[in-house]
Amino acid sequence: MHDQAEALRLKMIRNQRPVARSIAIISGKGGVGKSNFTANFSYALVAKGKKVLIVDMDIGMGNIHILFGATPTYHLKDYLTDIQRLEDVVTPIEENLAFIAGGSGLETVVEWSDTMFNRLIEAFSILQMEYDVILFDMGAGATKSSIDLILAMDEIILIATPEPTSITDAYSMIKFICLQDANKTIRIVSNRVLKEQDGRDSVARLQLAMRRFLSVETSILGFLPDDIHVRNAVIAQSPFVKLYPDAKVSKRMLAITDTFMHGDKPSTSIETSGFIDKIKGIFQKGRV
């Protein structure tokens, strides 16, 4: 499977024009806000002029479409299992924003076969030419297949709440990833923060543990407050940045988006090889 992750990465590198930045949105513990982050981050990126595709990787239990109040006809699985064409599973939300649904309800959760992985590689090589950013909303927990996919992405955004359980699970997830690739670009979003200092302290602890025990440097993308507007937006099935642009959580999301687009890349870990850095440099040239 690792060969496949590498094949996917190389396929992306080989393309001549700037290709989409591929971002895996992950967490350790589930339910910490990945899907809400993905939906609103995508919306904020579009507001800042980017063309964005969301891929709901929570096959069988995806809910991104619900957050947009959309009813997709087909799901990622329909493409992966060769039932539908790629264009049929890409559902537009509005100009410059589209998603591929993960499917929900009674569908069986699939373990990825080699054929499905190859279909996904094929899809990326087409979609990356069309979009500036592709966001992968990963399901909770780590399966072997999901780790392989995360390893193939350019960057990781790790969502964690300040709760100790979220922080320890986030550490375990990053450890798992970094044992296989110590050179991943990882940024942290601290979500559902009640007091900013608590958010800062919890992220500082997480970063310290990752630096000390995994030799991994990460950066902070930002903090999102615990805000009733998030829940209200879920109920209204529309992004909070769209419905409540003046809410604190929306303003923070826009700040996070600015940092993502213009901010510094995190410094790399001790194990960094110059070769990989160069490849990454070429790969990222001309992107967002």
**Minimum distance from residue 61 beta carbon to Mg ion (Å):** 8
Binding site for ligand ATP (CB under 6 A): 27, 30-36, 58, 139-140, 191-192, 224, 226-227, 230-231, 234, 249
Q: Which is nearer to ligand ATP, 14 or 231 (CB)?
A: 231
Distance in Å, CB of 30 to ligand ATP, minimum: 3
Measured from the CB atom, the residue of 61 and 279 that comes closer to ligand ATP is 61
- Rule CB under 5 A: is residue 146 a binding residue for Mg ion? no
* Distance from C-alpha of 48 to C-alpha of 163, rounded to nearest angstrom: 32
Structure tokens at 25: 């949105």
Q: Among residues 25 and 216, whose Cβ is nearest to ligand ATP?
A: 25
Look at residue 224 and give the partner it binds from ligand ATP, Mg ion, none, a contact being a CB closer than 5 to 8 Å depending on partner kind. ligand ATP
> How many residues of this chain bind Mg ion (CB under 5 A)?
2
Given a contact cutoff of 8 angstroms between Cβ atoms, the answer to whether 78 and 88 are in contact is yes
Contact 54, 94 (CB under 8 A): no
Q: Which of 20, 17, 31, 46 is nearest to 165 (CA)?
A: 31
For Mg ion, the closer CB: 35 or 218: 35
Residues with Cβ within 8 Å of 158's Cβ and at least 6 positions away in sequence, in order, are 26, 27, 170, 173, 174, 186, 187, 188, 189, 218
Radius of gyration in angstroms for the set of CA atoms belonging to the chain, rounded to a whole number: 18
Nearer to Mg ion, 34 or 77 (CB): 34
Would you count residue 207 as binding Mg ion (CB under 5 A)?
A: no
Q: Is there binding between residue 35 and Mg ion (CB under 5 A)?
A: yes
HSE-CB of 239 using CA atoms within 13 angstroms: 24
CB of 10 to ligand ATP, least distance (A): 30
Nearer to Mg ion among residue 34 and residue 252 (C-beta): 34
Degrees (nearest 5) of the Cα angle 40, 190, 53?
Answer: 30
Residue span binding Mg ion (CB under 5 A) among the ranges 34-42, 109-117, 155-163, 218-226: 34-42
Tell the smallest beta-carbon distance from residue 35 to ligand ATP (Å). Answer: 3
User: Rounded to whole angstroms, how far apart are CA atoms 238 and 136?
Assistant: 19
Q: Enumerate binding residues for Mg ion (CB under 5 A).
A: 34-35
